[in-house]
Amino acid sequence: MVNFAGISVAPDDVIYYLKKNLKLREAYRQILVCRAVYEAAQECGVSVSSDEIQADADRTRREHHLEKASDTLNWLNTQLMTAEDWEAGIRDRILADKLATTLFSKEVERFFIQHQLEFDRVLLYQIVVPYAQLAQELFYQIDEKEISFYEAAHLYDVQEKRRHQCGYEGWHYRWSLVPELSAAAFSGTLSQVVRPIQTDQGHHLLLVEEHIPAQLTDEIRQQIIQRLFAEWLNGELRQLMLE
């Protein structure tokens, strides 16, 4: 029995909530993920030290401004956790990261070479509007310099955040864009507006300010390790479900 805000909540209530909100399957999946990680870590001799757990806990305390031990305990109470629960969660995260590195760090270069184009990047701005006619009108107005791309984004984009940022989307990898947008973004001329493209989200006008060819940075290295690890986990889960 868990006490939350002075009200007792039984484990059966939690399970019923997960079921009726279609979240129980995902909870089961995460339990199986933990099991797969534990078993593989044992086989590979991967473990987590108390110093590693302490360092991660200290980082979280700094992020949440938990300067005193009492602050930490109060924060844990609001999360319905004990200190032991917290440390167990930290151990699980670190163990998964260390296992991923152990299993796949030697495969990164090969994967990168095989999928190098996917890691090209563009600095992207875009405008998304709901109607084809409006997209065409904006394209011609921008082309004729009757309005700037950034002003048009600020006035017409369907998304509030993008309107405030005048169309700014930031850096995108080739793989992170839907195929229609990816093809246009990586084949267009820098700082030249791409003709309207239709997707399920609406009608897009794109502007690419910069293009950086793929480089195997530390960030990309970690992305590849996590991608290979996720694929491995999916295979392990399928195997567990057959047992």
Q: Does one domain contain both 147 and 63? A: no
Domain that holds residue 170: 121-212
> 22-52: b or e for each residue (b if 16 or more CB lie within 10 Å)?
eeeeeeeeeeebeebbeebbeeeebebeeee
Domain assignment present for residue 115? The answer is: no
Q: Does one domain contain both 31 and 103? A: yes
pLDDT digits (tens, 9 = 90+) for 6-35: 678 788 888 899 999 999 999 999 999 999
Q: Does one domain contain both 33 and 80? A: yes
pLDDT at 171: 95
pLDDT at 10: 87
Domain assignment present for residue 159? The answer is: yes
pLDDT at 188: 82
Give the predicted TM-score (pTM) of the model.
0.79
Q: Does one domain contain both 178 and 131? A: yes
Say if CB 190 and CB 208 are below 8 A apart. Answer: yes
CA angle 135, 137, 143 (to 5 degrees): 100
Pairing of strands 121-129, 168-173: antiparallel
Number of domains forming the structure of the chain: 2
pLDDT at 243: 61
Residue owning tokens 């996917």? 118
pLDDT at 124: 96
Domain assignment present for residue 75? The answer is: yes
Domain assignment present for residue 116? The answer is: no
pLDDT at 1: 65
Residues of the chain with pLDDT under 70: 1-6, 243
pLDDT at 7: 75
